[in-house]
């Protein structure tokens, strides 16, 4: 379709150029001819009037030699390349510029008023010429009398030659402009059409599912920017597609494992494989696996709401209080592992402007993560300090740490390090993804510092409240 459109454009361009040239040639030819005729007629009439004035002095008895006038006529005739006559009222030629060859010739049916309101006539002038001439007439007057006329005849071929010279210049200029426009068209083709065609081909490839296709437009203009944007889009879509496949695989695996366990325990109870006195033990395991499924479902729903750019219910609250309350909720778990908390606050009250419920979830996930991977008889350090318009919160443990090659992957959904798999039996691999999504939805950042075998520290920022 694009190629057809381009062909139509080229065809239209050529037709426009051809029709434009024909139109210009037609009108310019007529306009040039009319202009030249009128200009030459006016010029010749002025010359005829000048000669008539000289002849008028002669007719009025002033000293004016006919030979002198004849010499002037012949000189002017050579200069303007026209034939000049002086005729009497009856039409007899009494002076001419052709060495007297027309002297005493009489113009048949001579009528000075035949031209009417026109200052000139075009034709063979009473069939005295074998070709068309431009003729002008000026009366010789004096003392309220008309003694004769001065006639000047210029061959029309001179005017035609001048017209052709002017038109040739016009046509050459038009051809040069057309050639220049072809160069511009070529530049347009190279800089706009061909890149646009490549982009169109690329878009069709993406629509067909070939996200590995690369659009090769290496320019530093809007076309290059569009090409880079589409290439980036295809990369992101490719990543998203891969992520979706991995996501489905991970979800299937994480759902299949507890469901298989629940089904196995229940079937064993029903068929009597498990003795009645052990029912409580295995029912507890079923409940545990059910809780795991529930937790996984809740985590996925949370991520889905965050992906949909869920609304943040922001309010002003004391982050110190949130930290204290969240840490207190893990009292039973910490007692079992002999883990204690060390809380440090730069101020007694530190107000932030954020979504209280989601920040509680962030703190819960980070503390839960720290407890899971911390050693027995250890300490978890939680700090909150203000700096300028931000409040920075740190959760630090002294546990197993995170391998260096896994630091960039811990934010991925369902990702679990090899070190965590043996400890996090009930984990979903979604906790840190939820944490990052919540923090980023607030327009803030979260960082991690970890050394394998030493411990891990998570640090995130929140906007400080200005209204309290």
Position 264 in a domain: yes
- Cβ proximity of 368 and 434 under 8 Å: no
> Domain end: 137, 161, 185, which one?
161
Question: Using one digit for the tens of pLDDT, what is the confidence trace for 125-149?
Answer: 888 889 999 999 999 888 888 888 9
- Cα 380–chain centre separation: 54
Mean of pLDDT over the chain: 82
Position 216 in a domain: no
- Where residue 449 falls among pLDDT bands split at 50, 70, 90? very high
Question: Using one digit for the tens of pLDDT, what is the confidence trace for 32-48?
Answer: 889 999 999 999 999 99
Torsion sign (Cα): 322, 397, 373, 461: positive
Question: Using one digit for the tens of pLDDT, what is the confidence trace for 193-236?
Answer: 788 888 888 888 888 888 788 888 887 788 888 888 888 888 88
Shared domain for 141 and 249, answered yes or no, is no
- Where residue 389 falls among pLDDT bands split at 50, 70, 90? very high
Shared domain for 379 and 458, answered yes or no, is yes
pLDDT value of position 309: 55
Shared domain for 457 and 416, answered yes or no, is yes
Shared domain for 293 and 357, answered yes or no, is no
CATH for 290: 1.10.287.130
- Where residue 2 falls among pLDDT bands split at 50, 70, 90? very low
Position 432 in a domain: yes
Question: Using one digit for the tens of pLDDT, what is the confidence trace for 347-373?
Answer: 999 999 998 888 988 898 899 889 988
Position 188 in a domain: no
Question: Using one digit for the tens of pLDDT, what is the confidence trace for 239-258?
Answer: 777 766 666 665 665 567 67
Shared domain for 27 and 49, answered yes or no, is yes
Question: Using one digit for the tens of pLDDT, what is the confidence trace for 151-180?
Answer: 999 999 999 999 899 888 888 888 888 888
**Strand 145-155 relative to strand 133-142, pairing:** antiparallel
Residue 275 tokens read as 């003795």
Shared domain for 97 and 130, answered yes or no, is yes
Position 468 in a domain: no
> Domain end: 119, 146, 161, which one?
161
Half-sphere exposure of 125 (CA within 13 A, CB side): 25
Position 217 in a domain: no
Q: Comparing 33-47, 85-99, 378-392, which segment has the lowest mean pLDDT?
A: 85-99
Shared domain for 140 and 274, answered yes or no, is no
Shared domain for 410 and 324, answered yes or no, is yes
> Domain end: 270, 290, 307, which one?
307
Shared domain for 321 and 418, answered yes or no, is yes
CATH for 89: 3.30.450.20
Position 187 in a domain: no
- Cβ proximity of 460 and 392 under 8 Å: yes
Give residue 429's domain range. Answer: 314-463
pLDDT, mean of residues 295-302: 69
- Where residue 1 falls among pLDDT bands split at 50, 70, 90? very low
pLDDT, mean of residues 317-330: 92
- Cβ proximity of 82 and 129 under 8 Å: no
Residue 7 tokens read as 């062909």
Q: How many domains does the chain have?
A: 3
Position 451 in a domain: yes
CATH for 340: 3.30.565.10
What CA–CA distances, in Å, run from 29 to 134, 135, 302? Answer: 18, 21, 81
Shared domain for 134 and 37, answered yes or no, is yes
Shared domain for 333 and 264, answered yes or no, is no
Shared domain for 295 and 321, answered yes or no, is no
pLDDT, mean of residues 292-304: 69
Residue of 48, 54, 115 whose CA lies nearest to 80: 48
Contacts 24+ apart (CB under 8 A), 294-303: 295/426, 295/428, 296/254, 296/255, 296/428, 296/430, 299/428, 299/430, 299/431, 299/434, 300/251, 300/430, 302/361, 302/430, 302/434, 303/413, 303/430, 303/433, 303/434, 303/437
- The predicted model scores a pTM of 0.46
pLDDT value of position 425: 47
pLDDT value of position 422: 44
Question: Using one digit for the tens of pLDDT, what is the confidence trace for 48-65?
Answer: 998 888 888 777 655 556
Residue of 28, 17, 86 whose CA lies nearest to 58: 86
pLDDT, mean of residues 179-198: 81
Q: Which percentage of the chain shows pLDDT scores above 90?
A: 24
Query: How many other C-beta atoms are found inside a 10 Å radius of the C-beta of residue 138?
Result: 22
Residue 178 tokens read as 């057309």
């Amino acid at each position: 379709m694009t190629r057809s459109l381009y062909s139509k454009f080229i065809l239209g361009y050529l037709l426009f150029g051809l029709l434009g040239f024909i139109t210009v040639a037609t009108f310019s030819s007529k306009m040039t001819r009319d202009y030249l005729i009128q200009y030459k007629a006016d010029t010749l009439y002025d010359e005829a009037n000048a000669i008539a004035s000289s002849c008028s002095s002669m007719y009025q008895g002033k000293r004016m030699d006919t030979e002198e006038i004849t010499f002037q006529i012949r000189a002017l005739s050579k200069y303007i390349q026209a034939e000049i006559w002086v005729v009497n009222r009856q039409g007899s030629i009494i002076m001419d510029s052709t060495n007297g060859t027309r002297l005493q010739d009489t113009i048949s049916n001579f009528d000075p008023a035949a031209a009417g309101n026109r200052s000139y006539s075009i034709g063979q002038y009473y069939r005295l010429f074998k070709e068309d001439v431009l003729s002008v007439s000026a009366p010789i007057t004096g003392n309220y009398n008309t003694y004769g006329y001065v006639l000047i005849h210029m061959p029309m071929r001179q005017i035609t030659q001048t017209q052709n010279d002017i038109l040739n210049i016009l046509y050459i200029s038009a051809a040069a402009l057309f050639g220049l426009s072809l160069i511009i068209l070529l530049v347009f083709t190279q800089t706009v059409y061909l890149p646009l065609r490549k982009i169109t081909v690329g878009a069709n490839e993406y629509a067909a599912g070939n996200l590995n296709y690369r659009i090769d437009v290496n320019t530093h203009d809007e076309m290059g920017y569009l090409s880079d944007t589409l290439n980036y889009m295809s990369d992101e879509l490719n990543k998203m597609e891969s992520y979706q496949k991995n996501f489905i695989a991970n979800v299937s695996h994480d759902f299949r494992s507890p469901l298989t366990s629940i089904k196995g325990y229940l079937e064993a109870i029903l068929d009597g494989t498990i003795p009645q006195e052990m029912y409580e033990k295995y029912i507890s395991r079923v409940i545990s696996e059910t809780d795991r499924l529930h937790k996984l479902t809740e985590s996925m729903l949370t991520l889905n709401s965050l992906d949909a750019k869920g609304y943040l219910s922001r309010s002003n609250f004391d982050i110190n209080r949130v930290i204290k309350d969240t840490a207190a909720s893990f009292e039973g778990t910490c007692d079992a592992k002999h883990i204690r908390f060390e809380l440090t606050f730069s101020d007694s009250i530190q107000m932030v402007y954020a979504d209280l419920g989601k920040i509680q979830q962030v703190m819960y996930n980070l503390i839960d993560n720290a407890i899971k991977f911390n050693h027995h008889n250890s300490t978890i350090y939680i700090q909150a300090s203000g700096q300028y318009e931000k409040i920075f919160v740190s959760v630090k443990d002294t546990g197993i740490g995170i391998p260096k090659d896994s630091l960039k992957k811990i934010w991925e959904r369902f990702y679990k390090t090899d070190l965590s798999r043996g400890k996090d039996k009930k984990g979903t691999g979604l906790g840190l993804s939820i944490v990052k999504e919540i923090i980023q939805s607030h327009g803030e950042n979260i960082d991690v510092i970890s050394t394998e075998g030493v411990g891990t520290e998570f640090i995130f920022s929140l906007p400080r409240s200005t209204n309290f």
